[in-house]
Amino acid sequence: MKTFLIAALSADGFIGKDSGHLADWTSKEDKKFFVETTKKAEAIIMGENTYETIKRPLPGRLNIVYSRDKEYEGVEVTKEDPKNLLLSLAKRGYNEVAICGGSQIYTMFMEQGLIDKLYLSIEPVIFGKGIPLFNRELDFKLNLVSESKLGEQTILLEYNVLK
């Protein structure tokens, strides 16, 4: 099972202003990259706060939402241990999974060593304060695989996590 984290960051390193912030500040090029890349993965995992900003399953992908008590139509809601969830997805035939945030979910998978790759797109905005990519102390080294421009204003960084 391969996993990647995919996130858009402000130039000062935030993924949103607050836990209910809509992703209306990201570029159309980033949105296109997100759709193409997550469709290739076939399954996406996100937290309840992030799902509440979207409010509908994203088509053409298995949608898994972490929540302790919510229920939604068209998505699988889970509170499974991340390692067990990935094992059960592998048994169901999924080879690659996209970890789509927010901060709580990125942190939970990263700190357990369950992320192989990061796609970070840097958007030309500054929030000053907000939701960080990760919200607990971590200590990982990365290998920069590629850097490219998604559009005139957006940079895409691709990192592999060194294990």
Ligand X SMILES: NC(=O)c1ccc[n+]([C@@H]2O[C@H](COP(=O)([O-])OP(=O)(O)OC[C@H]3O[C@@H](n4cnc5c(N)ncnc54)[C@H](OP(=O)(O)O)[C@@H]3O)[C@@H](O)[C@H]2O)c1
Is the Cβ of residue 24 or residue 93 nearer to ligand X in the bound state?
24
- Name the minimum Å distance from CB 56 to ligand X: 15
Residue 101 found at the interface with ligand X (CB under 6 A):
yes
Is the Cβ of residue 72 or residue 93 nearer to ligand X in the bound state?
72
Is the Cβ of residue 37 or residue 160 nearer to ligand X in the bound state?
37
- Name the minimum Å distance from CB 62 to ligand X: 17
Strand pairing class (131-132; 142-149): unpaired
- Name the minimum Å distance from CB 42 to ligand X: 19
The H or E element that residue 130 is part of is none
Which position has the token pair 């759709």?
35
Residue 29 is encoded by which pair of tokens?
Answer: 């090029």
Amino acid at residue number 80? E
Residue 120 found at the interface with ligand X (CB under 6 A):
no
Q: Please, are residues 130 and 36 in contact by the beta-carbon 8 Å criterion? A: no
Binding footprint of ligand X, residue count (CB under 6 A): 28
Query: What is the rounded CA–CA span in Å between residue 14 and residue 38?
Result: 21
Phi, psi of 35, rounded to the nearest 5 degrees: -65, -50
Among 36, 69, 71, 73, the residue binding ligand X under the rule CB under 6 A is 69
- Name the minimum Å distance from CB 9 to ligand X: 7
x-or-dash string of contact with ligand X, 22-41, rule CB under 6 A: -x------------------
Applying the rule CB under 6 A, the residues between 49 and 68 that interact with ligand X are 49-50, 53, 66-68
Report which residue's Cβ sits closest to ligand X: 102
Query: What is the rounded CA–CA span in Å between residue 64 and residue 74?
Result: 9
Buried residues in 96-111 as b, exposed as e (16+ CB within 10 A): bbbbbbbbbbbbbbbb
